[in-house]
Amino acid sequence: MVSTNVHNPNDLSQPVVGRFAPSPSGRIHVGNLFSFMVAYIRAHQKGGSCVLRIEDLDPDRSKQCHIDQIFRDLDWFGFEWSGEAVYQSERTEAYQEAFDALDSMDLLYPCFCTRADLHAAQAPHPGEEFVYQGTCRHLSHDEQAEKARVRNPAYRICVTNDEIVIDDAFQGEHHYNLQGSSGDFIVRRCDKTFAYQLAVVVDDAYQQVNDVCRGIDLLSSAPRQRYLQELLGLPEVTYAHVPLFLDEEGRRLSKRNNDATLSYLIDSLGLTACQILGYIAYCSGMIDSWESVSLSELIQFASLDALTNTTSIVWKDPSSVK
């Protein structure tokens, strides 16, 4: 266990570095904006700053037009970040190095299971994480070579039974055991794309991020990321998982919730950037009433206390509120 690297949020000699890590598979939505706001407010209230990373790992889903729109939207809302944006599509060598380091610890193995095999083995209930049962962990070299003739393998990392504690700034202490919560997980996909879990820890360390603020849907990824940080000797980060916005039926916001898209708020309702920031700050309890506020005003006046132990917030069409 690497304990010397733990980031202590109360240690003011280490500046707080938060991050925005959008995936350019579409326009940012209210949930992304909310987590960017909180990341920004947290870092700046502690005298720190944020960095930007474009998570364009997945070549099939990432589009240049979405990257351009992300920059326009971040600018329009007034977000600033230190340094140049990092693009995951340009970081393959760094991921390969981390992959090789894990491989040299004899922790990786090829997995030939198809999606259909995995679903046949276990169909997770909605909201439940998939737990890999280790099917390919003990294949012999001959079996691996035989299977590799018909299928490119993904690579999984062996996990242990040790307890991993995530002491989340908003969601409190969560105890995990990776064997029970995810099983051996993928670090490189069968199309040779490095997996999100690996890329994110390599990049957070590279960008000197020490405060990871994002949606609570990623809380269950935190123990996998902590595990990789420990193995790779990377600094631990503080996690702060913000509640998810849900629609009035309690479902995650998605494309069917047009009233939560930026194009609806900006183009149809004609709201300004500060009105939208103020609305989200008001809905999440950071401010007491819906006012038009800038990011710098939020840094001065917003309280993030209301986010503690809250897992969801209902999104209401602002035109029904005003």
Chain positions contacting ligand GLU, by CB under 6 A: 21-23, 55, 200, 214, 218
Q: Which is nearer to ligand GLU, 20 or 132 (CB)?
A: 20
Tokens of 32: 């992304």
CB of 216 to ligand GLU, least distance (A): 11
CB of 229 to ligand GLU, least distance (A): 13
Q: Which is nearer to ligand GLU, 222 or 271 (CB)?
A: 222
Q: Which is nearer to ligand GLU, 23 or 182 (CB)?
A: 23
SS (HEC) of 134-170: CCCCCCCHHHHHHHHCCCCCEEEECCCCCEEEEEECC
CB of 99 to ligand GLU, least distance (A): 18
Q: Which is nearer to ligand GLU, 209 or 271 (CB)?
A: 209
Q: Which is nearer to ligand GLU, 110 or 168 (CB)?
A: 168
CB of 24 to ligand GLU, least distance (A): 9
Angle at 119 between CA 215 and CA 127, to 5 degrees: 25
Are 130 and 118 spatial neighbours (Cβ–Cβ below 8 Å)?
yes
Are 293 and 300 spatial neighbours (Cβ–Cβ below 8 Å)?
no
CA proximity to 261, closest of 36, 25, 67, 31: 31
Q: Which is nearer to ligand GLU, 88 or 275 (CB)?
A: 88
CB of 39 to ligand GLU, least distance (A): 9
**Cα-based distances in Å from 219 to 166, 181, 265:** 9, 12, 28
Residue 268 neighbours by CB under 8 Å, 6+ apart:
none
Question: What does the longest C-alpha to C-alpha distance in the chain come to?
Answer: 67
CB of 134 to ligand GLU, least distance (A): 26
